[in-house]
């Protein structure tokens, strides 16, 4: 049964669907913010988010076991169709646990195929390029992303942490519905006129999706000193 709670919605770019304005960033559920909880604890968290009507979920290839966890939750609940699911490629985790940015076509196809398998789904609502190497043209990247749209496996495309020129070039290949960037009282560069990103998104009809709007959790009031953080918490 669909969640009875409805959050305010926003259009996902020009001619895109209405989705919850409040998204659920899932990085900290699996990695970077200390030791993850058990699957059962995290399922309870996802259950509660669903109950509250927060059904815009944001994952990524680099978020530890997050895509696998979501796949288990979808299988457990049967609610895949009720979640607006986004994931990302580009931040590649090496077998040794290191990280590198990759945008080559072979990697993109492999990463997205792995996401489908982990998420246990046959479609992704919104696929982002997470980061850019700066050496592979965005036209090449978006052309490969478009393959998944043409195949009916991805509904919408997005880009993260790139500049105005990159966005302007990308939309000439395929519509870009979302642009994701860190945006909080601690990170306000997106508002600078000389950066031009807000105006660019408005002009091109791209939804701006703010990540870490609560300053990576610092603004929640939960943390009073460095002693409040787990030793494995990168903050």
Which residues are known to be catalytic?
A: 63
* 8 A C-beta contact, residue 21 and residue 9: yes
Q: At what angle do helices 138-150 and 105-119 cross, to 10 degrees?
A: 40
How far apart are the C-alpha atoms of 179 and 74, rounded to whole Å?
26
Helices (H), the chain: 27-30, 39-51, 66-77, 105-119, 138-150, 164-170, 197-204
228: region left, alpha or beta (phi > 0 left; psi from -120 to 50 alpha): alpha
Are 152 and 121 in contact by the 8 Å Cβ rule? The answer is: no
């Amino acid at each position: 049964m669909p969640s009875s709670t409805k959050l305010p919605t926003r259009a996902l770019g020009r001619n895109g669907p209405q989705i919850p304005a409040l998204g659920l960033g899932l990085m900290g559920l699996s990695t970077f913010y200390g030791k993850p909880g058990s699957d059962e604890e995290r399922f309870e968290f996802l259950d509660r988010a669903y109950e509250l009507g927060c059904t815009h979920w944001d994952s990524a290839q680099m978020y530890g076991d997050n895509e696998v966890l979501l796949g288990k939750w979808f299988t457990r609940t049967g609610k895949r169709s009720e979640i607006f699911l986004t994931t990302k490629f580009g931040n590649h985790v090496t077998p040794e646990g290191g990280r590198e940015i990759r945008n080559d076509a072979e990697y993109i196809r492999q990463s997205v195929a792995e996401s489908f398998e982990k998420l246990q789904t046959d479609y992704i609502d919104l696929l982002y390029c997470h980061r850019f190497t700066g050496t592979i043209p965005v036209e090449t990247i978006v052309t490969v992303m478009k393959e998944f749209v043409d195949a009916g496996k991805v509904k919408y495309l997005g880009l993260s942490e790139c500049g105005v020129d990159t966005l302007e070039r990308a939309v000439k290949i395929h519509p870009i519905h979302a642009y994701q960037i860190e945006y909080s009282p601690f990170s306000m560069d997106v508002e600078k006129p000389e950066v031009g990103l807000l105006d660019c998104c408005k002009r091109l009809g791209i939804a701006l999706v703010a990540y870490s709007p609560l300053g990576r959790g610092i603004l929640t009031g939960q943390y009073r000193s460095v002693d409040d953080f787990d030793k494995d918490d990168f903050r």
